[in-house]
């Protein structure tokens, strides 16, 4: 069987896709991946058939970027849909099943439908799938004062149709397909998958047969830590890790991070990330790193301070590290709440943190009882979600797009 795995997100979306691709390949399946060009070299090195989609994500967005106008948003939405139809159509050639993972997957189901292939949509966070038991992720268009979950999901569905539906239906018509009335339901399909850890990010209705819960897709990272980082770790008490991943934080955030670590008498490891944070230079109590094996590193730090992406939150939870989540957007607010509610860390207010706010949150995360809960919780995080998903895919293929 040939499977196309498609995502257009950052590493937090791509790495789980790599986990599923690896499991499928180990089971003898032919796998192709469609991902942003930022990750092509990495996946080429892993031996996967890669089709890049769109421009590099890293060069988009910054803390100082002017908010786009309505016309710019409309054009960006239409261009995104057109690019997906063009690229995913090529990537899906000869494939039996298309798996669309993560947000903004507007073309994959239509491409699968036209090709007669099976289709699966997979989410990495429960609140990105509709349910009367939770609200959708925060978005700029929210109606003030609306608290009814069903009304909020209806508002989201309307915005999807408004922003993306016209171009989706134009592309469907060009491919001989009938229009869709509800784009959101069309993308999610009848039985979406939730690729999130059941303990960390559970589906709110445990008896719901319409959401397939596979567990988080965790790629087993076997890369060793760099020798100079190992030396830094070995020369004192466990440091604090700070990283915002693909978020474009202002450069001064690195100094804020270092100040909060020093307030607790701790050393700091600062991940440069896509913001190119560089405060580590010249500070003996601070170590700057690039892309690295977080699964290994997080076992050796006193706490993990991060933006709250699904991948980083799950990795820190699995490593037993206390967390401080500084949410910026979308599902990160959910993971901030989960870390706080589970008692395995703390969270700050959304946006760019102050040194005072980070220092206060770290005071909570570094408490012995929080560290103990984080270590105990690690045993609940299952590492086999990608294997479960791969075997389920094979057992139910060929899948319909219903």
What tokens appear for 337 in the block? 């709440």
Give residue 63's pLDDT band: very low, low, confident or very high (50, 70, 90). very low
Residue 96 shares a structural domain with residue 200: yes
The answer as to whether 336 is a domain residue is: yes
Residue 119 shares a structural domain with residue 78: yes
Residue 135 shares a structural domain with residue 39: yes
pLDDT tens, position by position, 322-344? 999 999 889 999 999 999 999 99
Residue 17 shares a structural domain with residue 154: yes
The answer as to whether 265 is a domain residue is: yes
57 has a pLDDT exceeding 80: no
**What is the rounded CA–CA span in Å between residue 286 and residue 288?**
7
pLDDT of residue 62: 42
What is the tally of structural domains in the chain?
Answer: 2
Residue 257 shares a structural domain with residue 339: yes
pLDDT tens, position by position, 378-395? 999 999 999 999 999 999
Residue 346 shares a structural domain with residue 284: yes
Residue 198 shares a structural domain with residue 257: no
Residue 233 shares a structural domain with residue 127: no
Which of 230-234, 241-245, 288-292 has the largest mean confidence? 230-234
The answer as to whether 402 is a domain residue is: no
Residues of the chain with pLDDT > 70, as a percent, come to: 92
pLDDT of residue 398: 65
What b/e sequence results for 209-223 when a residue is b if at least 16 CB atoms lie within 10 Å of its CB, and e otherwise?
Answer: eebbbbbbbbbeeee
The answer as to whether 256 is a domain residue is: yes
The answer as to whether 150 is a domain residue is: yes
Whichever domain contains 204, its CATH number is 3.40.50.2000
What b/e sequence results for 337-366 when a residue is b if at least 16 CB atoms lie within 10 Å of its CB, and e otherwise?
Answer: ebbbebbbbbbbebebbebebbbbbbebbb
248 has a pLDDT exceeding 80: no
Residue 192 shares a structural domain with residue 247: no
Three-class secondary structure of residue 318 per DSSP: helix
Mean per-residue pLDDT, 212-235: 96
Residue 154 shares a structural domain with residue 235: no
Give residue 136's pLDDT band: very low, low, confident or very high (50, 70, 90). very high
pLDDT tens, position by position, 67-78? 667 677 778 888
The answer as to whether 89 is a domain residue is: yes
The domain of 289 spans 227-378
The answer as to whether 401 is a domain residue is: no
pLDDT tens, position by position, 250-260? 667 888 999 99
- Cβ atoms of 113 and 171 closer than 8 Å: no
The answer as to whether 94 is a domain residue is: yes
Residue 354 shares a structural domain with residue 389: no
pLDDT of residue 254: 82
pLDDT of residue 71: 74
Residue 40 shares a structural domain with residue 166: yes
């Amino acid at each position: 069987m040939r499977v196309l795995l498609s995502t257009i997100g950052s590493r937090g979306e791509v790495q789980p896709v790599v986990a599923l691709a690896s499991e499928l390949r180990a089971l003898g399946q032919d796998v192709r991946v469609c991902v942003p060009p930022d990750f092509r070299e990495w996946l080429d090195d892993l031996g996967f058939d890669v089709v890049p989609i769109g421009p590099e994500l890293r060069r988009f967005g910054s803390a100082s970027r002017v908010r786009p106008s309505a016309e710019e948003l409309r054009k960006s939405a239409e261009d995104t849909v057109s690019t997906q139809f063009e690229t995913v159509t090529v990537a899906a050639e000869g494939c039996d099943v298309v798996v669309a993972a993560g947000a903004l997957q507007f073309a994959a189901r239509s491409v699968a439908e036209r090709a007669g292939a099976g289709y699966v949509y997979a989410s990495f966070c429960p609140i990105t799938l509709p349910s009367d038991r939770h609200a959708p992720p925060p978005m700029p268009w929210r109606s003030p004062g609306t608290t009814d979950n069903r009304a909020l999901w209806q508002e989201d569905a309307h915005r999807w149709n408004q922003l993306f539906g016209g171009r989706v239906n134009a592309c469907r018509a060009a491919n001989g397909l009938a229009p869709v009335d509800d784009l959101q339901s069309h993308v999610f399909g009848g039985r979406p998958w939730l690729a999130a850890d059941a303990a960390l990010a559970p589906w709110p209705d445990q008896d719901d047969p319409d959401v397939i819960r596979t567990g988080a897709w965790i790629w087993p990272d076997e890369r060793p830590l760099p020798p100079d980082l190992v030396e830094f770790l070995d020369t004192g008490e466990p440091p604090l890790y700070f990283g915002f991943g693909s978020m474009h934080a202002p450069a001064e955030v690195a100094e804020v991070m270092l100040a909060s670590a020093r307030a607790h008498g701790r050393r700091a490891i600062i991940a440069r990330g896509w913001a190119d944070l560089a405060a580590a230079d010249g500070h003996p109590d601070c170590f700057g790193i690039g892309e690295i094996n977080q699964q290994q590193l997080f076992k050796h730090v006193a706490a993990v301070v991060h933006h709250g992406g699904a991948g980083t939150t799950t990795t820190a939870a699995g490593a037993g590290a206390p967390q401080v989540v500084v949410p910026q957007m979308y599902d990160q607010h959910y993971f901030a709440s989960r870390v706080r509610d589970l008692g395995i860390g703390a969270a700050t207010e959304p946006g760019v943190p102050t040194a005072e706010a980070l220092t206060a949150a770290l005071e909570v995360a570094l408490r012995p009882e929080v560290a103990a809960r984080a270590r105990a919780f690690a045993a609940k995080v299952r590492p086999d979600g990608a294997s479960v998903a791969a075997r389920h895919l094979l057992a139910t293929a060929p899948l319909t797009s219903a």
